[in-house]
Structure 1
Amino acid sequence: MSSLAAETVPTSPRLDMARFEATALQRAPFDFLIVPGFLKPEALSAVERDFPEITSGGSFPSSSLNCGPAFKELLDELQGPAVTAAFQAKFGIDLSGRPTMITLRGQSRAKDGAIHTDSRTKLVTALIYLNSDWESDGGRLRMLNGPDDLEDYAAEVPPEAGTLVAFRCSPEAWHGHKPFIGQRRSIQLNWLTDEGVLKRELKRHAFSAWTKKLLRFGA
């Protein structure tokens, strides 16, 4: 067995790790996978109930928000060793000792979803969505074949409750979505290159959140 392989599929009251393990990694146009039902249906109601109130656009560190107990337990599990081992086995990348960061989104703005790749300081990005009955054509994440055309995509992911989409961060990992304005809740989990990056990212997000709050009070 590879040193990066998980010895057994971990069990969880909230995460369907067997479904994750059974989902094949897509290799083109970059390494990614989509797992509907990654959050177990029986866990969804408590997690959705305890998702913090977010009334502004942008990303917020989970540590800066008032999360309920069921949601905190989920975040703890996502950053635990069993999930890290499962992701490193799936992507074939050594994540041991790498720091993790979780940010949350609650609202989508017209400017969100532009085609981009994630920072080189991120190794793997995992997104978990918490939106019931998604009907809009906008806000559906697309895994793109290149940087120039949102319509040239390999897969499209509606941000429905419990769905996971994860990808290896690379210069080829282009993604984006059509504009959507309104509530669009998601958890973003990243494995980062080092602790220095984590500190800088948390500081940057904290400053951004402070600026948004200041502008909101001054409106």
Structure 2
Amino acid sequence: MTLIDLSALEACELHNDPFDYIVVPDFLPPEALARVNADYPAIDTATNHDLADLRYGAQFSTFLGELQTSAFRQALGDKFGVDLTHCPTTITVRKYCEQSDGNIHTDHWSKVITVLVYFNESWEHEGGRLRMLRSEHDLEDYTAEVKPLGGQLLAFRRTDHSWHGHKPFVGERRMLQYNFLSSSKLARVSQKVNRFGTHFGKRVLGIGQ
């Protein structure tokens, strides 16, 4: 029995305003979400964690395996019209959000497609809802606002104008980030340097992103 609903990804609409993105409700159907959440990694800090640093149960591991299949990679690439065949990937997992999170930004230039999967059973908070923005200057100038509801997948193509952010929220906000990176050597090196700097700033210096 599979956990993810690949047909939901294949059937979803590709939005182009203000940049290319998709939203897939029930990418993890409710019953599958409950199983994966029961095996979610035990995390007690508000930062992104590499999988190698985490412990998690069998259902979460199964979900990760399905997410990293060639079938998912192909379906995602087809949706965006991008060949992801040879793209390296990174996966990080998060459980808590802090006041400094959500500032308007585009992702690092080495990223091709960013995938976010949420695991929160409900979301009534005004903060923490990711907005697709028209510029880097105004959080209120957005074309879509996505609640981080459990089972939902959000993915977007990284560009120089793929601005996004959310209003501040402090508390539990479960999320997995899956990035497809440029296959160029320079991009891989730059991504490693960027991730080290982010890790150092968040863990050691206490600097928010």
Counting only pairs closer than 5 Å after superposition, residues 95-134 of structure 1 correspond to structure 2 as 95-134=84-123
Task: Specify the SS of the correspondent of 1:124.
Answer: strand
Q: After TM superposition, what 4+ stretches of structure 1 lie above 2 angstroms from structure 2?
A: 194-212
Deviations 1:135-179 (A, max 9, x none): 100000001111111111110011010011100011111000000
2:43 alignment partner in structure 1: 54
CA–CA distance in structure 1, aligned partners of residues 156 and 49 of structure 2: 21
Task: Flag the 1:32–1:207 CA change in 2: closer, same or farther, 3 A.
Answer: closer
**Where in structure 1 are there 5+ consecutive unaligned residues?**
1-11
2:74 alignment partner in structure 1: 85
Deviations 1:47-80 (A, max 9, x none): 1011111111121112211121111111121111
Task: Specify the SS of the correspondent of 1:190.
Answer: strand
2:12 alignment partner in structure 1: 23
Task: Flag the 1:190–1:41 CA change in 2: closer, same or farther, 3 A.
Answer: same
Task: Specify the SS of the correspondent of 1:18.
Answer: helix
2:199 alignment partner in structure 1: 208
CA–CA distance in structure 1, aligned partners of residues 188 and 45 of structure 2: 23
2:180 alignment partner in structure 1: 191
Contact (CA 8 Å) 2:3, 2:28: kept in 1 or not? yes
**What TM-score comes out, normalization by structure 2 length?**
0.89
1:182 alignment partner in structure 2: 171
Contact (CA 8 Å) 1:143, 1:154: kept in 2 or not? yes
Contact (CA 8 Å) 2:132, 2:144: kept in 1 or not? yes
* 2:119 counterpart of 1:164: no
Alignment: residue pair count: 204
2:128 alignment partner in structure 1: 139
Code of the aligned partner of 1:84: R
CA–CA distance in structure 2, aligned partners of residues 195 and 69 of structure 1: 34
Contact (CA 8 Å) 1:99, 1:195: kept in 2 or not? no
1:17 positional shift: 1.4
Task: Flag the 1:195–1:15 CA change in 2: closer, same or farther, 3 A.
Answer: farther
1:119 positional shift: 0.8
Contact (CA 8 Å) 2:107, 2:158: kept in 1 or not? yes
Deviations 1:174-197 (A, max 9, x none): 000000001111010110113755
User: How large is the RMSD of aligned CA atoms in angstroms?
Assistant: 2.3
